[in-house]
Amino acid sequence: MDSSALNPALPPLKLFSVVIPARDEEKSLPATLEHLHREFTLNQIPHEIVVVDDGSTDRTWEVLQQLKTAIPTLRPVQNTGEHGFGRTVQFGLQASTGDAVVILMADESDDPRDAVRYWQLLNEGWDCVFGSRFIPGGGVKDYPRVKLFMNRLANLFIRRLFRIPLNDTTNAFKAYRRTVLNGCAPLISPHFNLTVELPLKAIVRGYSWTVTPITWRNRRAGEAKLKIKEMGSRYFFICAYVWLEKYFSRGDYRKNNKL
């Protein structure tokens, strides 16, 4: 499933940066990082793990310092600016050095094996790889019913608005070549609406993309940071923002038209 042709002539990737926003995740981080590092090492993926502490009030930062001994590719950083999911991810993107980046959650809800598949697909010549939990081969476990209903409703709205087949746009777990991230700048979403801004901008601006099935499970420890009642208007704003670019910018920002 894609919007433009795969380009096998793209240069091979050298380093996969994993960007993980973390706020009060002391209980979840050890298992998340150990499993991720083990999976990437087994598959011989050159990588760095950039965990951004977003003003945690628990032992998140202390735990990260302790984990550096066992996980040599771990690079903890602290968000020194304003807080918020989108701001934290952007801080991590700027701190990362890889020519490809995957955004992954700290709560072990995303499967590292899916991230390995992302790397493989990017190396086949795709600009972006988007995971979907709602296509054959994908799945969710212990998804709260109200959140699941709102998720499907929001994604249906986005599919209809942009006329795209992607049915899991709001999921943050996606991978991009660095050229895509540079081409989608500036990113303006300070909160979870960044999960929509990035893929929609990449699609509208003409980068190639494909979708692969992924699995998701609800966190085992800590509290979810996404508050649905706070995000509705922010998601709508960013969708409207990118929709206006799609239909009224005359292609000024598209990949092939960059100066």
pTM of the predicted protein model? 0.91
Distances (CA, A) of 39 to 45, 50, 117, 201, 205: 9, 16, 11, 30, 32
pLDDT of residue 257: 47
Residues of the domain holding 173? 16-249
Mean pLDDT, residues 20-27 = 96
What burial letters (b/e) apply to 99-121, b meaning 16+ CB within 10 Å? bbbbbbbbbbbbbbebbbbbbeb
Q: Do the domain assignments include residue 256?
A: no
Answer whether residue 227 is part of any domain.
yes
Domain count, the chain: 1
In a domain, 148, yes or no: yes
What CATH number does residue 126 fall under? 3.90.550.10
d(CA 249, CA 98): 30
**255 domain-assigned:** no
Say whether pLDDT at 36 is over 80. Answer: yes
Is residue 74 in a domain? yes
Identify whether 11 is part of a domain.
Answer: no
Structure confidence by residue, pLDDT tens digits, 150-186: 899 999 999 999 999 999 999 999 999 999 999 999 9
Q: How confident is the model at residue 6 (pLDDT cuts 50, 70, 90)?
A: confident
Q: Is the pLDDT of residue 10 over 70?
A: yes
In a domain, 5, yes or no: no
SS3 per-residue string spanning 177-216: EHHHHHHCCCCCCCCCCHHHHHHHHHHHCCCCEEEEECEE
203 in any annotated domain: yes
Percent of the chain with pLDDT over 70: 92
